[in-house]
Each structure stands twice: as structure tokens, then as C-alpha cells.
Amino acid sequence: MSYCLNPTCPQPKNPDHVSVCQACGSKLILRDRYRVVKGLGQGGFGATFLAVDLQLPGNPLCVIKQLRPSTNDPNVFQMARELFEREATTLGKIGNHPQVPRLLDYFEDNKIFYLVQEYVKGNNLQQEIKRNGPVSEAGARQFLSEILPMLQYIHSQKVIHRDIKPANLIRREQDKKLVLIDFGAVKNQVTPQTPASASDQTALTSFAVGTPGFAPPEQMALRPVFASDIYALGVTCIYLLTGKSPKDLDYDPKTGEMMWQKNVDISENFANVLSKMLEVSVRHRYQTADEVLKALDMEPYLESLAEGLVAKPTGGSGNNLPNSGRDMYDSSPSGKPLSATERLAMAIRNKRNNPNVGSPLGRSGRGAFDTTSTLQTSGRPAKRKVQRLDEESLLNAYVKGRRDFAQQNLSNLNLPEANLAGGIFHQSKLKRTNLQGANLNHADFGRASLVSSNFRDANLGRAYLVGADLEGADLRGADLSYANFRGANLRGTNLCGANLANATITDEQLGVAKTSWTTILPNGKRGFWG
């Protein structure tokens, strides 16, 4: 089918073989190169279409965005042209990132502007959540770890996206990576009221209001900043965790803050990170993607820090901790001063053992995590319903884009050679599960039960195995380079022939595991440990 681009055409659908629209007489082959096959979306100032490129071998698909100025005023038209060219230049620059669609072409035809971009095949996150349901905390953290570096890159190019939301994040079918689309070119409303002294950034952003609910107040007031994208990313996280759009959530009538806490079941530390991303006041929000990444970097290790601390508080237990307990955060029982990490770990341990007592570390404001803050909720958070998956349903869900399998019972499954790279198995049970030869690169097995599981010859490069129970597991010949084993139980784990180059693992852990002359140790050398 050929699709007519004339916005006033009464019947835009045409047969493939015609070159002129049968309803309005408009040319169907745009620029003698692009044949539009269907419409993808339409707004007040333009439309998006799927097209084929007739000049390239194989006639690959592409996306065409059409921008139509809403007036014939020549001054407005010239402003639209300048804005369009600036936007095209920006897209051409940021399109070098592998998670941003490449700009393939841009041109003007009959006073209408067109951008041609790479077509990304896959489902967006809104479709994924509607099909699979909300994700766990581990799934939301995985999402942020993938999106924030991309956002960091976009902001480094002096670009504000202005419309981050689940519908604009597509999981690419080819490699399951998330791709950020729609940089607002078709939503740029051009009007004569633009101040002559507006800066380049204002010209690029002041007309793209964004999506209500996802866009923060300053953006709706036409004053977007880089932190506006941080807010939208936070709202997207709430959608992933709850399956609810912003309009379905309650707001504080006095402050305008989204009241999302009662709808989620997440740790206090992760709730604190989201709360700061969602600050209504832009001054109190994270200002950069790098700030959020730094806050999240410590979050996965808080539990292992607390559990791994050798020195215990000596000033009492339970709710009898003396108010003068600050001294115990300054030195160990041996009298040696504690490091900042040890002080943080002790504060976390004290907070867990004494939930009604604020920690001295939190009161002093030291570090990024205030352990005295509490998550205010009304009502109990709803727990996710966890359904037992078999081999077929697990693999099918992964192929369709699902990555979050946290807290699942996957014991005794037979999954040899499976591709589950990037999968989230946080706190899942995989006892005696066969994953021989599987691709588990970057997978999250934090605090998972992997007792007697088979990972022989599997790819576990950069896997997160903090706090996992690997007792008796078979990891012979496995790629464990850069894997993180902090706090993991490796008693009786078979590491013969495994590649542990640059892995985070202690001498004590290696001492209770099995190694051989073929084992590649963390320092890159081969041989038995010890």
C-alpha cells in the first residue's frame, strides 16, 4: 500500500503500483525516493509515517516525521525553517549514540519539512507493561542503569529531550536494548510570540511542552532544564513499578507532589532516590543523570555492606541504643578508626536492628543516604503476584522483551544454551537449574539461591552475584570476568577452568571453592588458589 502525505487528502490509502494519489492527485513518492506505507501517529503540528527507501538495496524501512507550520505568515515560516534545521542538526549529532535512532535525511518539500530517521522495530515500554504487568525494584533499577548513561550523553550534547515516557522508549527487537525516540521535532509549535532575544536553547525547547504528568512544572511553564528529563524519567519508573499512568495517581493538593509511595513495594533507599528525582522544586531535584547514577551505584551494595561488617555496635541493642552512640561510628572495638564505608555499613546495620531509632550518621548528614528518613505510606503496598514459569514460558517472555524475573521460583528448570543476557533474577530460586552454556552476560543474580545449579561453560561476564548462594554450583569453564561475588557463598563451588579475570571476589571465597591449574584468577594468572 502507498499512503498519501497530503494532510487534507480524503482517502490517503492507495495501491502499491500507483505513483499519484487516486483521491487528491498528490505525488506518492516523496523526493523520488520514499514511499510511505502507513501512518504511525498524528499531532497538531505534524505527523509520523512508516516508509520504504526505494534507493537502498532491500528497500529498508524508515520513519518520516512531517512538520507543518500552522500559518502562512512568512516570518513564522522562516522561523519554522530555522528551528527545523537546528533540530535536524541536533538529531544528526546525537544519533551517533547506539540507543538513539539515526537521522538519515531531512528536507523541505512544498513548504512542509521532513525528517527521515532509522526505523526501530520493537515494542515500547507502555506495551510491555500492559502485557507483562509491573516490574520489581530490581527491574526498575536495571531500567535506570540502562537509560541514565544514554541521557547523560544526550545532555552532554546540550539537548533536552522534553518527552521521556514509556511510549517513547522502544525495546529494539534485534538486541533487546532500549532506544529513546521522538525528540520533539513534530511537536515544535512555531508562533510569532517568540522573543527576539531568545537563546538557542530556548528556541529549541520553548515550544515542546511535553506530556502532562510526565513533564515537571518548570517545563509546563516553558522553562525546561536538563533536570526536567530527570523528573520525567522518575515518573516513568513509577509507571514501570505500578502500571499506572500519572493521571491515575493521587497528588498533594498543596504541593502538587505525586503521592506514589503507597502503590509500590520497594526499599527505603530506592524510594529516596525516586523521591529526589520527582522533586517538584527543580532546585531540590537531581540536576544531572550522573548524580542519579552515583546515588544508585551504592544502592545495590548497602545490604552487603551492612552484612559484611565485622565490627558490631557495642553501645547496646534493640531500642536501648544510647543517644551518645556517635562514638561507636568513629572506631572499632580494637580502637582503630573506621573508614567512611565501614561507618556507613554500621549505620545501615543499626537502622535495620533499630528501626525506631535514628542513626547518628543520618543526623549528621554524612554521605548520600540519610538512614533516618522514613517512607510515608498510606496503606500497605500491593505485592506482585508471582507466577511459576516453566522453560517455554520463560524463554518466550524473554524473546518478547521481558527482563524482570525477580523473586521467581525457577528451580530444576532445564535451560541449556539459553540466551538470557541482562536478565534480572534478583532473589530468585534457581536450585539445581541447568544453565549450561547459557548467555547470562550482565545478568542480576543478587541474593539468588543457585545451590547445585549448572553454569558450566556459561557466559556470566559482568554478572551481579552479590549475596548469592552458589554452594555446590558447577561453574567449570564459565566466563566470570568482571563478575561481582561480594558476599556470595562459594562453598564447594566448582571453578575449575573458569575465567575470573577482574572479578570482585575475596581470598576467603576462593579458599572454600574448587580451583585447578586451568582456572584464570582475578589477577589474570592461571593456577590453583592458595
Alpha helices in 370-495 (DSSP H): 391-399
Distances (CA, A) of 6 to 2, 13, 36: 12, 11, 11
Alpha-carbon distance 426 to 488, whole Å? 13
Asked if 408 contacts 430 with a C-beta cutoff of 8 angstroms, the reply is: no
Alpha-carbon distance 354 to 67, whole Å? 59
Residue 249 DSSP label: S
Alpha-carbon distance 244 to 236, whole Å? 10
Specify which residues 66 forms β-bridges with. Answer: 47, 114
Asked if 341 contacts 374 with a C-beta cutoff of 8 angstroms, the reply is: no
Closest CA to 275 of 262, 288, 258: 258
Asked if 32 contacts 105 with a C-beta cutoff of 8 angstroms, the reply is: no
Alpha-carbon distance 449 to 427, whole Å? 7
The edge-to-edge listing of strands for the beta sheet with 61-67 is: 29-30, 34-43, 46-53, 61-67, 112-118, 103-109
Q: Is 65 marked as a binding-site residue?
A: yes
Alpha-carbon distance 310 to 308, whole Å? 6
Residue matched to cell numbers 493521587: 250
Q: Given the residues 53, 163, 229, 469, select the one marked as catalytic.
A: 163
Active-site residue, 163 included: yes
Closest CA to 462 of 440, 433, 438: 440
User: For the packed helices 289-298 and 226-242, what is the interaxial angle rounded to 10 degrees?
Assistant: 40
- SS3 at position 146: helix
Distances (CA, A) of 116 to 6, 53, 237, 453: 17, 10, 30, 49
- SS3 at position 444: strand
Say how many CA atoms lie within 13 Å of 99 toward its Cβ.
Answer: 18
Going by the annotation, the residues of the binding site for ATP are: 65
Going by the annotation, the residues of the binding site are: 65
Looking at the annotation, which residues are catalytic?
163
